[in-house]
Amino acid sequence: MKIFKSRISKLLIASALLLTAGLNAFGQEKDWLDSSVPSVYETYKNDFSYFGIACEYGNFGPGWGQKGELTKPEVQKGLKKHANTITLGNEFKPQFVFGWWGQNPKVTKEKFTSSKGVTITTPALNFLDRLGDILQICKDNGLQMRGHVLVWHSQTDDAFFCEDYNKNKKLVSKEIMDARQEWYIKTVIEYVNNWEKKNNGGKHIVWAWDVVNEAVADDATKTDYLRGSTKNTKDKAPDQGGSRWYQIYGSDEFIINAFRYANKYAPKDVKLCYNDYNEYMDYSQGWKTSGIVSLLKSIISHERDKELPTRIDVMGMQSHLGISWPGVSGVESAIKRFLALGLDIHVTELDFSAKNNAECAKAYADYMKLYKKYGKSYSGKHKITCVTIWGINDENSWIAQGGKQKPLIFTLKKGKYLTKDAYWSVINAAK
């Protein structure tokens, strides 16, 4: 009996120490490189194959010259410690690869003939080589990355869709646009493939591509769900929620084609992903989840085509979440629907519209427990294999609103990246 009581006492003491250690961490701002600060990736490596953090390389607009987060040694060390994959917030998007900045591009003398026999002239991609600079940083720090994004209605210059690549002329036919799409996907993917072969022994740095981004409208109905087909997106410019892609095609054909070409040019072990936000929204004012499910089924239905089959491996749940909406149960419902399609899930852009650090900490604890439930230990064939937080620190977050929002797990003070309560809640949620 005494031995039994002794063991109970030791267990209670050990449990109390663990609990105290976790609670004491809250409220402490520690340097993210401090040896007492656990690696987030290492903490979750038995739950997810990848844990990622988004970042920026630099400012590529007119007057380019100021390099950003990813070029800083402090950031590289932190990313290397806490993540094994990154996502560039902007630099792999068409607008940044084009480097046209709203102007009509130079048209080259090079010709491209598509898989369907259509020949086009091609425009210059002014910043294609900049991808190599980013890949080199990843290689130097042992990081991989998600390629974000190949096809998007936004941040794609109007000139790409117009005759003679002139934004003042009318939109081209879908046959011409199809060739342009294939050329662009081929050019970007093959640039990365060739860089990896030449500089990294063929090992992948880009292990996944967001092939198409945000093609389903927020005001989706059960019959009209594509961006450009709905009441609030039809005939609208991209900056008003519309889509030049849909205006040319009038269907999901351009999305199907994108997954055909990504499958044709990407290595077979590189994951192909559809990515969207509000992916858990399914009610009378917007049947977006159902619209995404319909789109995914359409892509999957062409996987066995004899010529140019599609391939899709992953549903990317962006997960820009509120504190009270859609709630853990709402997100879990969407997770189940996407897994049931035979796809893995990446949580691609996680952050929270949190007004203070306490709200942020609780949200990360609740949702990391949910994601862990569908990670490696989940009994189903398909799982959540990657979680990426959308940014490094609150101050540089896209939803920071001058400090009104506290969306991320680190804060930046006097040039140092420090842990927040949200960071410690992420660590404790793994236990």
- Token representation of residue 353: 């519209």
Distances (CA, A) of 142 to 6, 75, 136, 139, 191: 47, 13, 10, 5, 20
- Point out the catalytic residue in the list 91, 196, 279, 349: 349
* Helix 327-339 / helix 288-300 crossing angle, nearest 10 deg: 20
**CB atoms < 10 A from the CB of 194, how many?**
11
The answer to whether the CB of 60 falls within 8 A of the CB of 99 is yes
**Distance (Å, rounded) from C-alpha 350 to C-alpha 363?**
11
Q: 226-233 — which CB contacts under 8 Å span 24+ positions? A: 226/251, 226/252, 226/291, 226/295, 227/153, 228/153
Q: Which of 78, 82, 47 is nearest to 431 (CA)?
A: 47
Residues in the chain: 431
Concatenating the DSSP letter of every residue in 100-135 gives -TTSPPPEEEEEEE-TTS-EEEEE--TTTTHHHHHH
Rounded-to-integer distance, Cα 252 and Cα 194, Å: 30
Candidates 91, 214, 279, 359; catalytic one: 214
- Residue 263 · residue 186 · CB < 8 Å: no
Contacts within 8 Å (CB) and 24+ apart, 398-407: 398/89, 399/320, 399/351, 399/353, 404/355, 405/353, 405/354, 405/355, 406/354, 406/355, 406/356, 406/357, 406/359, 406/360, 407/351, 407/352, 407/353, 407/354, 407/360
CB atoms within 10 A of CB 42: 13
Q: Does the annotation mark 349 as catalytic?
A: yes
Angle among Cα 198, 200, 203 to the nearest 5 degrees reads 115
Q: How far apart are CA 23 and CA 43, in angstroms?
A: 17
Would you name the residues annotated as active-site residues?
214, 349
